[in-house]
């Protein structure tokens, strides 16, 4: 998953994975199904349960999906990145073999308990399901297929640096595992000491140190006590408003 950078007035959260698609996928891939909604231009996907507005203005475009209850996590998965591969072995008729797409979770796919989960109630618990924008779906499958089996995997934790000189406000997103962050530490490359950050609001954590011109490392702890360390995840030439990928996940 590559870096996420600022472009002309907005932060473009490009969730990019690099992988070699294989018949036998690695252990971090999981199984689900995918459908589509929102029309051929994706206009019907704007807004949604995650609170986004115009997905083009916000930098997401049409590479988005609504998540079923099993994946949505009461909103904790909003903004999360998922790489999706259509399972051509199970469905060679409708899957586009050798393709993949990375989407951002921007909406919720509610259950429909009037229909069985294998015939219309695609988003019923405990089924993991992606209701993708139609243009995104058509990058991995044929429109007439309607619903296809897929493999998916999560992206890694990302860090967005906001604030100003002497005040770093770090938005930490796409956190797997327990999902709830209990503690964060930050360290600049000019120091050997980790500083405990303070929660400002939501998943925004603050530091009052002057860290400009230093590469930044983070330790993140979730509510179940697990800790992950991202060393030098932010390069020394960072600027406020930029977002950076990590190679860690719970």
Note the pLDDT of residue 17: 54
Per residue of the chain (250 residues), what is the pLDDT tens digit?
333 322 223 334 445 554 444 434 555 689 999 999 999 999 999 988 988 888 887 667 899 999 999 999 888 788 778 889 999 999 999 999 999 998 888 999 999 999 998 889 999 999 999 999 999 999 999 999 999 999 998 778 889 899 999 999 999 887 776 668 899 999 999 999 999 999 998 889 999 999 999 999 999 998 889 999 999 999 999 999 998 878 888 7
Q: 146 near 33, Cβ under 8 Å? A: no
Note the pLDDT of residue 10: 34
Note the pLDDT of residue 6: 28
> Which tens digit of pLDDT belongs to each residue from 57-92?
766 789 999 999 999 988 878 877 888 999 999 999
Residue 122: exposure state from Cβ atoms within 10 A (0-12, 13-18, ≥19): buried
Residue whose structure tokens are 């702890």? 221
Residue 158: exposure state from Cβ atoms within 10 A (0-12, 13-18, ≥19): buried
Note the pLDDT of residue 35: 97
Before 126, cis peptide (omega within 30)?
Answer: yes
CB under 8 Å to 206, separation ≥6 — which residues? 163, 167, 168, 169, 170, 197, 198, 199, 200
Q: Could you tell me the domains of the chain?
A: 5-154 (2.40.40.10), 158-245 (2.60.40.760)
> Which tens digit of pLDDT belongs to each residue from 90-123?
999 999 999 999 888 899 999 999 999 888 999 9
Q: Output the six-digit token pair for 188.
A: 């600049």
CA nearest 13: which of 177, 136, 159, 228? 159
Strand partners, 131: 35, 66
Residue whose structure tokens are 């503690």? 183
């Amino acid at each position: 998953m590559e870096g996420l950078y600022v472009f002309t007035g907005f932060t473009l959260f490009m969730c990019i994975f690099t992988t070699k698609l294989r018949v036998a996928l690695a252990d971090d891939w999981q199984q689900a199904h995918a459908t589509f909604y929102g029309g051929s231009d994706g206009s019907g996907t704007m807004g949604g349960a995650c609170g986004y507005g115009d997905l083009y203005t916000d930098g997401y475009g049409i590479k988005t999906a609504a998540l079923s209850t099993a994946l949505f996590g009461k909103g904790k998965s909003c903004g999360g990145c998922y790489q999706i591969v259509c399972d051509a072995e199970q469905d060679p008729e409708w899957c586009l073999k050798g393709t993949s797409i990375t989407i951002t979770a921007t909406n919720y796919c509610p259950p429909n308990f009037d229909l069985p989960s294998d015939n219309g109630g695609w988003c019923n618990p405990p089924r993991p399901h992606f209701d993708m924008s139609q243009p995104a779906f058509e990058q991995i499958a044929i429109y007439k297929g309607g619903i296809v089996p897929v493999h998916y995997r999560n992206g890694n934790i990302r860090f967005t640096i906001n604030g100003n000189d002497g005040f770093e406000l770090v938005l930490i997103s796409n956190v797997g595992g327990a999902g709830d962050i209990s503690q964060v530490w930050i360290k600049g490359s000019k120091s050997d000491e980790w500083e405990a950050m303070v929660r400002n609001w939501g998943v925004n954590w603050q530091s009052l140190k002057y860290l400009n011109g230093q590469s930044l490392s983070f330790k993140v702890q979730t509510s179940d006590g697990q800790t992950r360390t991202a060393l030098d995840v932010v390069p020394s030439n960072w600027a406020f408003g930029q977002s950076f990928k990590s190679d860690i996940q719970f």
